[in-house]
């Protein structure tokens, strides 16, 4: 409500008239509290209501009042009895049932978690070749990747390769469901990357002949032509170039540069043949992930960041226009497991509470139960022998 005086309309000596403006509102009940849509009026907009949020919370006797832009000309006010972003959830039976009954949906759309309204938030993963997940240690990166693994592992239309730069036990339980697995061993990591590069080359030559299309996503992944997901945790480990002059340093430098070259090709060329690279790192700045790789990844997710530089590196400069969703505000322990991302069907950036993947024993059990589905994608194409890194030479008919 606003009172406006219009003295310039009054005759000299006449009393000043005032007009009371009452914005139209629409209120509705939500599981977390009350949602109010308010039409903006002159002098009352987002900034004014944000300043009044704490006073409204006291007046309405609720813990939190959150204000944000809605449709053009409207402001959305949320009076929350509880905050979905600070309420920890676990992957429940409903989620597992959804995965089992609709693997198409799990492959093409990543159910990341719930937003600040408590509704499901997803990101598209079909036609995507690169995903960057960044954030401070201990804030939810590995847990998020665990939930993605759990959603896809029951499908024979997905195959996994994991390269764990941590070198610890975090990914050991996943190994039975991976056709390729390595820890923080640059030489072994490069072997896996070379194998995937061979797969990229063969699929590029065979896609029209085998699938009758130029883009796998026109038909979708299949058992013989699965989506290949490469997960690189603490990916920066494999991009570090040594500056030493001794033979060992030169060898490490050569491996790092070759690994970066292959990953860049996988991200640039893997989309239409069904190869997807997921790079997880604490900080996605150029000294950790080469910008030519990072900036070609179509999906970016950030947990808590300590600096604006780190947030901009992973999410882009637009994040500065969304202070309420900025990863720097997620450093509070209450926000462990909360990430910033661009969610499907939502403008700008969205804060999302990611669910807990459950105990490690659940992941181990799932990997063992689905291990029978594991297969080398090159072998499925008849382009390599089981257990071999070799690849058949596929000639280009136009050059024959």
Q: How crowded is residue 157: how many other Cβ atoms within 10 Å of its Cβ? A: 19
The whole-number pLDDT of residue 99 equals 44
Residue 140 pLDDT more than 70?
yes
Question: Rounded to whole angstroms, how far apart are CA atoms 199 and 262?
Answer: 12
How is residue 288 written in tokens? 């950790």
Buried/exposed 257-290: b ≥16 CB within 10 Å, e otherwise: eebbebbbbbbebbbbbbbbbbbbbbbbbeebbb
- 76 - beta bridge partners? 37, 68
Report residue 82's pLDDT band, with 50, 70 and 90 as the boundaries: confident
Strand, helix or coil for residue 159:
strand
How is residue 330 written in tokens? 């997620």
Residue 375 pLDDT more than 80?
yes
The residue-averaged pLDDT of 357-384 equals: 90
Q: Which of 234-238, 281-285, 356-360 has the lowest mean pLDDT?
A: 356-360
Average pLDDT value over all residues in the chain: 86
| 362 CA to centre of own chain | 22
Among 354, 348, 325, 321, which residue's Cα sits nearest to residue 122? 354
The alpha carbon dihedral of 259, 264, 269, 272 has a sign of positive
Best mean pLDDT range from 34-38, 118-122, 194-198: 194-198
Answer for the pair 150, 103: CB distance below 8 angstroms, yes or no: no
Is there a shared CATH topology between the 2-82 domain and the 88-380 domain? no
Q: Which of 121-135, 139-153, 356-370, 383-397 has the lowest mean pLDDT?
A: 383-397
Q: With both helix axes pointing from N to C terminus, report the angle between 186-211 and 247-269 in degrees, rounded to the nearest 10.
A: 20
The whole-number pLDDT of residue 17 equals 61
The whole-number pLDDT of residue 379 equals 94
Residue 93 pLDDT more than 50?
no
Question: Rounded to whole angstroms, how far apart are CA atoms 281 and 259?
Answer: 16
Residue 389 pLDDT more than 90?
no
Answer for the pair 251, 258: CB distance below 8 angstroms, yes or no: no
Question: Rounded to whole angstroms, how far apart are CA atoms 318 and 187?
Answer: 38
Question: Rounded to whole angstroms, how far apart are CA atoms 50 and 54?
Answer: 8
Answer for the pair 335, 85: CB distance below 8 angstroms, yes or no: yes
The whole-number pLDDT of residue 14 equals 60
The whole-number pLDDT of residue 400 equals 30
The whole-number pLDDT of residue 84 equals 86
pTM for the model stands at 0.82
Question: Rounded to whole angstroms, how far apart are CA atoms 125 and 148?
Answer: 11
Domain range annotation of the chain: 2-82, 88-380
DSSP, residue by residue, 296-331: T-SEEEE---SSHHHHHHHH-GGGGG-GGG-GGGGG
Residue 129 pLDDT more than 80?
yes
Mode of pairing for the β-strands spanning 130-134 and 299-302: parallel
The alpha carbon dihedral of 149, 296, 218, 348 has a sign of positive
The whole-number pLDDT of residue 88 equals 81
**CATH for the stretch 88-380:** 3.40.50.300
Report residue 97's pLDDT band, with 50, 70 and 90 as the boundaries: very low
Q: How crowded is residue 78: how many other Cβ atoms within 10 Å of its Cβ? A: 20
The percentage of residues in the chain with a pLDDT greater than 70, rounded to a whole number, is: 87
> Which position has the higher pLDDT, 42 or 396?
42
The whole-number pLDDT of residue 104 equals 67
How is residue 219 written in tokens? 């038909």
Residue 122 CA neighbour count, 13 Å, CB half: 13
Among 114, 84, 220, 102, which residue's Cα sits nearest to residue 151? 102
The whole-number pLDDT of residue 3 equals 52
Question: Rounded to whole angstroms, how far apart are CA atoms 95 and 349?
Answer: 24
Render pLDDT for 268-290 as a digit per residue (tens, 0 to 9).
999 999 999 999 999 999 989 99
The percentage of residues in the chain with a pLDDT greater than 90, rounded to a whole number, is: 61
Residue 5 pLDDT more than 70?
no
The residue-averaged pLDDT of 211-225 equals: 95
- Measured in degrees and rounded to the nearest 5, phi and psi for residue 230 equal -100, 120
| 3-class SS string, 194-221 | HHHHHHHHHHHHHHHHHHCCCCHHHCCC
**Cα dist from 302 to 162, 225, 257, 355, whole Å:** 20, 31, 26, 15
The whole-number pLDDT of residue 161 equals 97
The CATH architecture to which 2-82 belongs is 2-Layer Sandwich (3.30)
Residue 393 pLDDT more than 50?
no
> Which position has the higher pLDDT, 222 or 102?
222
Answer for the pair 139, 334: CB distance below 8 angstroms, yes or no: no
Residue indicated by tokens 């030489």: 187
């Amino acid at each position: 409500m606003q009172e406006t005086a219009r003295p310039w309309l009054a005759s000299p000596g006449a009393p000043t008239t005032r007009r009371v403006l009452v914005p139209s509102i629409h209120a509705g009940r939500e599981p977390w509290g009350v949602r109010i849509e308010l039409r903006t009026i002159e002098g009352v907009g987002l900034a004014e209501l944000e300043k009044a949020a704490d006073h409204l919370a006291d007046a309405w006797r609720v813990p939190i009042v959150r204000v944000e832009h809605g449709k053009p000309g409207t402001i959305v006010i949320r009076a929350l009895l509880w905050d979905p972003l600070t309420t920890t959830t676990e992957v429940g039976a409903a989620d597992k049932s959804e995965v089992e009954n609709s693997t198409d949906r799990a492959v093409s759309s990543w159910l990341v978690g719930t937003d600040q309204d408590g509704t499901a938030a997803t990101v598209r993963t079909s036609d995507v070749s690169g995903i960057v997940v960044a954030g401070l240690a201990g804030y939810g990166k590995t847990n998020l990747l665990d939930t993605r693994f759990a959603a896809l592992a029951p499908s024979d239309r997905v195959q996994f390769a994991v390269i764990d730069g941590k070198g610890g036990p975090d990914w050991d339980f996943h190994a039975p469901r991976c056709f390729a697995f390595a820890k923080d061993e640059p030489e072994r990591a490069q072997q896996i990357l070379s194998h995937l590069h061979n797969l990229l080359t063969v699929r590029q030559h065979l896609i029209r002949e085998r699938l009758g299309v130029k883009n796998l996503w026109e038909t979708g992944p299949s058992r013989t032509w699965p989506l290949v997901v490469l997960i690189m945790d603490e990916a920066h480990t494999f991009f570090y170039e040594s500056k030493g002059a001794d033979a060992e340093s030169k060898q490490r430098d050569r491996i790092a540069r070759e690994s970066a070259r292959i990953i860049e090709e996988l991200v640039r060329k893997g989309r239409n043949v069904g190869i997807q690279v997921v790079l997880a790192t604490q900080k996605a700045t150029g000294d950790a992930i080469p910008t030519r790789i990072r900036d070609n990844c179509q999906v970016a997710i950030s947990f808590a960041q300590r600096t604006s530089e780190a947030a901009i590196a992973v999410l882009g400069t637009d994040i500065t226009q969304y202070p309420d969703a900025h990863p720097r505000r997620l450093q509070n322990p209450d926000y462990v497991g909360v990430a910033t991302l661009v969610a499907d069907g939502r403008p700008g950036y969205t804060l999302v509470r990611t669910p807990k993947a459950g105990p490690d024993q659940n992941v181990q059990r799932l990997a063992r139960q689905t291990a029978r589905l594991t297969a080398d994608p090159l072998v499925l194409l008849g382009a390599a022998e089981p257990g071999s890194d070799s690849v058949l030479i596929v000639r280009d008919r136009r050059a024959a």
